């Protein structure tokens, strides 16, 4: 037998999914459900908290509880890295995402800080450096309007970027073409990438920075970017609000038996 608050939450969730409660619509007031015999205030509130954690509703003091508008997922495919965009055009990858999803781009939606730091373990490993070696960290917080969507921190080896505008401490985006263009101009043309993804619970500072709802998870993305000769020129860590993104990858089915012998 499921607890009373869970049963109430499931009942309301069902009505939301069926459309009986439409997005934007008010859910019953907690005190009304108490009066209607659904349980004590704590019990009904526990159900509402579960619904909020599941992203179905948002509550606010003084207003009430309304069914959330489900923002469509932003779909991230490998086409966002298309060389034609940052080499020949003026787009950077994160803008390309937005163009692809039909959203308008506005200036001032990205903040950036550059610093020179000792490499954290995963960064050192990705770059093949000893732990604690110094690297440049370029941290961005990307927003869509007022709403932060993800953070992205790129780590570069000093010898690859020293003297370029990528490590110019002046605030602001990396400029025309973005980071890959700067590397290209410096003689490092990116060739292939690896992306690794997993979901986890956000850390307290991420909840604040990304304005996450209570109970909302994040997806962490590790992107390693190589030149044609296998040199790692960028390792980046992204933290994305889990409910706002989907990732898409196209690939050939591998066939190790068909590979040329070495």
Partner DNA sequence: TAGTGGTCTAGACCACTTC
Partner DNA sequence: AAGTGGTCTAGACCACTAA
Could you say whether residue 5 binds DNA (CB under 7 A)? yes
Q: Which of 12, 16, 21, 46 binds DNA (CB under 7 A)?
A: 46
Could you say whether residue 1 binds a second copy (CB under 8 A)? no
Q: Are 122 and 222 contacting, i.e. CB atoms less than 8 angstroms apart? A: yes
Could you say whether residue 122 binds a second copy (CB under 8 A)? no
Supply the minimum distance, in Å, between the C-beta of residue 104 and a second copy: 23
Count of residues that bind a second copy according to CB under 8 A = 48
Question: Of 51, 82, 80, whose CA–CA distance to 67 is shortest?
Answer: 51
Q: Which of 191, 209, 211, 231 binds a second copy (CB under 8 A)?
A: 191
| Tokens linked to 104 | 């308008």
Q: Which of 11, 17, 31, 116 binds DNA (CB under 7 A)?
A: 31
| Tokens linked to 123 | 């960064």
Q: Closer to DNA at the Cβ: 9 or 92?
A: 9
Q: How far from the centroid of its chain's Cα atoms is residue 87's Cα?
A: 24
Name the binder of 262 from a second copy, DNA, none, CB < 5-8 A by kind: none
Q: Closer to a second copy at the Cβ: 108 or 255?
A: 255
Q: Which of 251, 260, 261, 262 binds a second copy (CB under 8 A)?
A: 251
Q: What is the DSSP string of 138-181?
A: EEEEEEETTEEEEEEEEEE-HHHHTTSGGG--SSS---TTHHHH
CA atoms of 182 and 197, how far apart (whole Å): 26
Could you say whether residue 215 binds a second copy (CB under 8 A)? yes
Q: Are 140 and 151 contacting, i.e. CB atoms less than 8 angstroms apart? A: yes
User: How many CB atoms neighbour CB 36 within 10 A?
Assistant: 10
Q: What are phi and psi of 190, to 5 degrees?
A: -75, 150
Could you say whether residue 62 binds DNA (CB under 7 A)? yes
Name the binder of 185 from a second copy, DNA, none, CB < 5-8 A by kind: none
What element of type H or E holds 241? Answer: strand 232-241
Chain positions contacting a second copy, by CB under 8 A: 10, 42, 53-55, 73, 75, 78-79, 81-84, 87-88, 190-201, 204, 215, 217, 219, 225, 242-243, 245-258
């Amino acid at each position: 037998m499921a607890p009373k608050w869970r049963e109430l939450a499931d009942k309301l969730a069902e009505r939301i999914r069926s459309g009986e409660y439409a997005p934007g619509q008010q859910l019953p007031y907690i005190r009304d459900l108490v009066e209607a015999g659904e349980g004590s205030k704590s019990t009904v509130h526990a159900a509402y908290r579960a619904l909020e954690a599941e992203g179905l509703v948002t509550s606010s003091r003084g207003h009430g509880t309304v069914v959330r508008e489900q923002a469509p997922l932003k779909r991230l495919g490998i086409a966002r890295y298309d060389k034609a965009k940052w080499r020949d055009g003026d787009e950077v990858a994160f803008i390309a995402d937005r163009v692809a999803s039909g959203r308008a781009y506005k200036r001032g939606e990205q903040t950036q800080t550059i610093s020179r730091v000792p490499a954290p373990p995963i960064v050192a490993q990705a770059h093949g450096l000893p732990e604690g070696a110094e690297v440049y960290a370029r941290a961005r917080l990307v927003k869509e309007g007022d709403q932060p969507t993800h953070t992205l921190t790129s780590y570069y080896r000093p010898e690859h970027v020293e003297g370029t505008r990528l490590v110019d401490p002046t605030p602001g985006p990396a400029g025309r073409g973005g980071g890959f263009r700067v590397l290209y101009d410096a003689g490092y043309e990116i060739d292939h990438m690896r992306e690794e993804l997993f979901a986890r619970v956000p850390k307290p500072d991420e909840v604040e920075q990304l304005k996450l709802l209570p109970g909302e998870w994040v997806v962490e993305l590790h992107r390693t970017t190589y030149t044609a000769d296998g040199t790692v020129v960028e390792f980046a860590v992204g933290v994305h609000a889990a409910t706002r993104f989907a990732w898409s990858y196209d690939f050939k089915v591998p066939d190790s038996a068909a590979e040329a012998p070495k």
